[in-house]
Chains A and B, each alone.
Chain A
Amino acid sequence: ETGVTQSPTHLIKTRGQQVTLRCSSQSGHNTVSWYQQALGQGPQFIFQYYREEENGRGNFPPRFSGLQFPNYSSELNVNALELDDSALYLCASSLWDRVEQFFGPGTRLTVL
């Protein structure tokens, strides 16, 4: 059974640029959630995807957008990067009718 994978592991961007982060869900999992974890904070829910549609969104501006593909993998896109976007971005996968979410290793984004 393959766990949740994310790429890249680290990324450095400058303000105003755009970034795409990728997540492959655990085998068989059809639901993907994305979280942002700033340094020293708990993870904050960005949004969730199920059946290729957004299913719930946290308090993040529209420049945070996502996609889910037919194979259940997902992308997180952030436009017009700001310094405060620097964080660890975590992807979690689950089955729609199951409780537990499994987290990937994360992508560390630094915005200069």
Chain B
Amino acid sequence: ELKVEQNPLFLSMQEGKNYTIYCNYSTTSDRLYWYRQDPGKSLESLFVLLSNGAVKQEGRLMASLDTKARLSTLHITAAVHDLSATYFCAVEGNEKLTFGTGTRLTIIP
């Protein structure tokens, strides 16, 4: 059974700082997704990573995938308050997505 773990579960950081969220998964997969969720809202797709070594960037967020290490990272650069949300990684396998537990990110002014 595929297991997906994220850390940290909670992250409180000051504006302007950099930090990384980690996503580890237990079985081979070449497809990994990052989503953002605001309180009470649905999931917003951030990145789709489809191969080993894939790196994608959008604004202050950058995601990477290492399929050999079964690890993806979501790096936040110079955080701003608008990035406060819960971030989920999800790994595709057997026609379904298995989600991590989520990282609740709070950016403090």
Q: A104 to chain B: which residues have CB within 8 Å?
A: 42
Q: Is A14 an interface residue (CB 8 A)?
A: no
Report the interface size for chain B: residues with CB under 8 A from the other chain.
Answer: 24
Measured between beta carbons, the chain B residues less than 8 angstroms from A92 are 97
Complex CA gap A90/B90 in Å reads 14
Is B31 close to A, CB under 8 A? yes
Number of interface residues of A (CB under 8 A): 22
- Judge whether A103 and B92 touch: CB under 8 Å: no
| B55-70 interface code vs A (CB 8 A; 1 in, 0 out) | 0000000000000000
Residues of B within 8 A of A (CB): 4, 31, 33, 35, 40-45, 48, 50, 88, 90, 92, 94-102
Q: Footprint of B on A, CB under 8 Å?
A: 33, 35, 41-45, 48, 55-56, 58, 90, 92, 99-106, 108
